[in-house]
Structure 1
Amino acid sequence: MTASPIIPLLISHAIGDVAISSKRLAVLKRDAKVGRQLAGIAIHCGFHAVASYIMLQLFGCAALLGAALVFGQHFIIDFVRCRIERLVWGPGKPFQTISGLVSKQDRAIKRDKKGFLIWGGILGTDQLAHLFCLLGISTLL
């Protein structure tokens, strides 16, 4: 009997969004050139797919299918998120990341309550979309 896939999917999501993220990749995902932006999102989603594959294997779940589904859903959600953020703040703005909130360079967003609320709304919607997709993927595996 295999374990529920939702546990390894949630663990791998946390690994992909926190442990394997960088400010440079966050900026690339919001690049003004669509090709570079797509490459940045694909790299980020690749990290998620690899983390998902490993975690699903460890838990005895359908790893290859799960990793492919994670890549696809993550790509679509992040593409939409990054396009929205580019419309709000312009291309290449790194302060939309957790690491940006704690850096000295991005103190303006901390002082801008409206901007912070917008960022929080985008982040919250993004993470809820990922959660619902991961729940859906876990039912398929």
Structure 2
Amino acid sequence: MSSDKVEFEHKLERQAQLLDARTAKITKLEGQLRDIAYGTKTYTFKPDLKGEDEANVFDEAVQLERGENLLELQIVGATLSPPALQVLGDGEPSTFCTYSFYLFEPHSTPVVTGRRPRYGFTSKYVVSMDEHFMDYLHR
């Protein structure tokens, strides 16, 4: 009976160590999640550009307050179908895109000419992760 008691105590001690390790891991992950979700860290934006745009790359540090995140919307390009080109009546039309997001001012891309316009436009918004914004995203 005493050997069973010693074995049980060792097993209990090992399980307590495993629980402590799991608790430490959960606490660490919760901290990382909090940093990401509530914007408590400063992130450096490094665009993924190729070719001639590489010369224009610069580091842009964004200062975020607690509860804020950086959201980026990027319009890369478009493809105009043959029926759309017919409606426009131009084989090489000049086009641009406009859009509105949440409570921010409307944005527009530069004017680009061609059947497959490449806008390469990114807009950045610092948003507060509150109930109203989350509801907007959900809708």
TM-score normalised by the shorter chain: which range applies? under 0.3
Structure 2 length-normalised TM = 0.25
State which structure, 1 or 2, has the greater radius of gyration over its C-alpha atoms. 2
Higher helix share: 1
Query: Which one has more relative contact order, counting CA pairs under 8 Å at least 6 apart?
Result: 1
Please report the TM-score for the alignment, with normalisation by the length of structure 1: 0.25
